[in-house]
Amino acid sequence: MYPNRARAEVGSGRDGDSGGYGLRAGGTRALSVGRSACPGSGWDRSVACGGLLKGCRVTAIGERRGCIVRVYFCDSTLRDGEQAPGVAFRRAEKIALAQLLDEVGVDEIEVGVPAMGGREEEDLAELISLPIRARRVAWNRIRWEDIAASLRCGASRLHMAMPVSDVMLHKKLSVSREEALFQLLAVVEEACSRDSQISVGFEDASRADPLFLSRVVRALEPYPILRFRVADTLGVLTPFSTRELILRLKDAGAKSLEFHGHNDLGLAVANTLAAVEAGADWVGTTVLGLGERAGNAAFEVVAVAVRRLLGKEVHIRLPLLRRLAEQVSAASGMHIPLQAPVVGDRVFTHESGIHVDGVLKSPETYEPYPPEWVGRAHSVVFGKHSGRNGLRRILEGRGYLPTADQLDALLEEIRLLAVVQKRFLSEEAVCRLYRELCKSSKDGQAVADRLRNEEKTAG
């Protein structure tokens, strides 16, 4: 059905050329600048790269490569996420997560590795048979036994991961570039003859010779490859080198690209956004960034950032992200950090007096996007860094009319309690403290002592 070009391609190419990710002459981007506001809010979208043009959106046009409008999501929580040490999902948990990922709007779910065999193969067969909209894809090495296992599970959509860096090829697999390419073409040829839909992944693409990657893309031109996955397996790319790598592969003929970033140096989300700006129309993510070592690009963060910073279309139900994160946390045993972007308990909580004063006047002063986007709401708490203006506004909003002396005394007690107890006070606790302070004929010290005891007992 498809011409076998393995032998024709193995000897071609310039493997000895070093390549590199330097900027090409004349490689600057054309810019389209237009006034834009975040949908459904008063938030202005500033330029992602430093916000130099306030309220304007800058988009890479890419004359030869085209500008993408919608970004598609391949979520790998059930495969790459489960590879995090100590994480093991039960079958019922996998099914529940797949159903929720579908409800959230994920386009494709990477369900696992059929070649593991046994119960895993049975689990994946059930996941693949679920009556959900999201497409299911099985992960494979470039081995026929892996493909056979995927086919036994009923998978029609297959991802084939090929190590492409010399360190992976030589030190892990003990094969040459030519041998790896020949094996890939042979397996793709066979899978296509079974009417499978194929995506090809470049493992450790960030440390590979870009010319070899381009050569693989060209070798697969005769086959109906859905897309190529660019995996920054060790998380060593920067946004700049990510952009250059994606542009190189687009120039080599890759029509659709997915970026799969790891977070070893904390750049997974930034690199993913850079890939999208360069023309990648798919992103590979995991919920909570779950994965090996430092994990992957977090699905919930990428989904919001692509919309907020890049202005791209995403068919993701953002208000469900917190629920999804909580379900993954429960199934994986990995807690959600309090300050986790988008889904953490405290990401819309304000204490600092300067910030509270700004947020109470206009939320966009200290919130990068409306909390309502993700089904959240901001809250004000009180602690060591609270200020008088915010304290007064909260009390007045509840019908109290504090004097300047009362505010000073109350603020002193709040700060003392924050230091002693190592935690903040809620609005309710502050109002209670204010009422007690007003009743006291002294300076409120006795009341504060009693409240400390009550808080300790309640804790």
- Helices 268-278 and 239-251, interaxial angle, to 10°? 30
> What would the pLDDT profile of 161-183 be if each residue is shown by its tens digit?
999 999 999 999 999 999 999 99
Phi, psi of 106 (to 5 degrees): -60, 140
* Region of residue 176 (phi > 0: left; psi between -120 and 50: alpha; otherwise: beta): beta
DSSP state of 91: H
Looking at residue 37, what is its pLDDT?
A: 36
- Helices 210-219 and 177-193, interaxial angle, to 10°? 30
Which residues touch 37 (CB under 8 Å, ≥6 apart)? 43, 44, 45, 55
pTM for this model (two decimals): 0.80
Predicted confidence band at 126 (pLDDT cuts at 50, 70, 90)?
A: very high
> Which residue in 346, 430, 421 sits closest to 386, CA to CA?
430
What is the pLDDT of the chain when averaged over all its residues?
85
Which residues touch 47 (CB under 8 Å, ≥6 apart)? 53, 56, 57, 58
Distance (Å, rounded) from C-alpha 418 to C-alpha 353?
A: 14
Q: What is the mean pLDDT of residues 144-149?
A: 96
Looking at residue 51, what is its pLDDT?
A: 34
Q: Could you tell me the fold of the domain covering 67-332?
A: TIM Barrel (3.20.20)
Q: Domain segments of the chain: what residues?
A: 30-61, 67-332, 349-458
